[in-house]
Amino acid sequence: MSANHSLSGKTVLVGAGAKNLGGLISTTVARDGANVVIHYHSDATAPDARRTAEAVEAAGGKALTVQGDLSDVSEVERLFATAKDHFGGIDVAVNTAGMVLRKPIVETTEEEYDRMFAVNSKAAYFFIREAGRHLDDNGKVITIVTSLLAAFTDGYSTYAGAKAPVEHFTRAAAKEFAARGISVNNIAPGPMDTPFFYGQETRSAWSSTSRRRWATTSPRSRTSCRW
């Protein structure tokens, strides 16, 4: 990393930072010199958060773990306030939290729809809002969305649909936070070799030559959560 973009001594808050992509981000920025606030969702994820915190500290950084449900706005507020109080400021906020559902539209329930939008859209909005309130000047805000936003595919109507508004949240925030030098961006990765992906597709999904077999063998409904 160049001196102009050094993370040395900076504080990075990672939403869903205990495992999968979030865990990788947490440990990577620690190796680049950052202190890391590792958010995790539930008691089930607490062991992952502890292991990631240990890895951050082994890399030379300081770690703080904070549990909370990001679909609850008060919990998002508490996350940022706790991070700022502990480290004195926040330089980078990365939200990797997400929930994916592969299910036909005609079979999707109202409860599933509401939950998908709570995790993928509402939580993202208020994460950005709190980042705008708490980040130091010249900070960075990054939200992980999905490459499915550019895909013409079936089964992911609530997942990609709930991630789609985040693109506009990001554009609006980039305009509104620009005067303070805060950049706001999305990153839209494709499938990754983590349990977040395993729950949705079979291994055949990795091969473009196997798409026909994948379509006939994949379960009709699966849910995975990244936080």
Report, in this order, helix, strand and coil percent for the chain, each rounded to 5.
55, 20, 30
Over residues 141-155, the mean pLDDT reads 93
d(Cα 150, Cα 55) in Å, to the nearest integer? 35
Report which of residues 59 and 225 the model is more confident about: 59
Strand arrangement, sheet containing 35-40: 63-67, 35-40, 11-15, 92-95, 140-144, 183-187
Q: Is the pLDDT of residue 163 over 80?
A: yes
Contacts of 48 (CB under 8 A, 6+ apart): 18, 19, 23, 40
Helix (H, G, I), strand (E, B) or coil at 143: strand
**Residue 41, token pair as written in the block:** 């969702």
Count CB-CB contacts under 10 A for residue 202.
13
Contacts of 176 (CB under 8 A, 6+ apart): 132
Q: Is the pLDDT of residue 178 over 90?
A: yes
Q: Is the pLDDT of residue 98 over 70?
A: yes
CB 194 within 8 A of CB 21: yes
Q: The tokens 């900076």 sit on which residue?
A: 10
Q: Is the pLDDT of residue 183 over 60?
A: yes
pLDDT computed for residue 66 by the predictor: 98
Sign of the Cα torsion 63, 67, 69, 74 reads: negative
pLDDT band at residue 32 under the 50/70/90 scheme = very high
Over residues 207-214, the mean pLDDT reads 40
Q: Is the pLDDT of residue 208 over 50?
A: no
pLDDT band at residue 197 under the 50/70/90 scheme = low
Report which of residues 151 and 58 the model is more confident about: 58
Q: Is the pLDDT of residue 201 over 60?
A: no
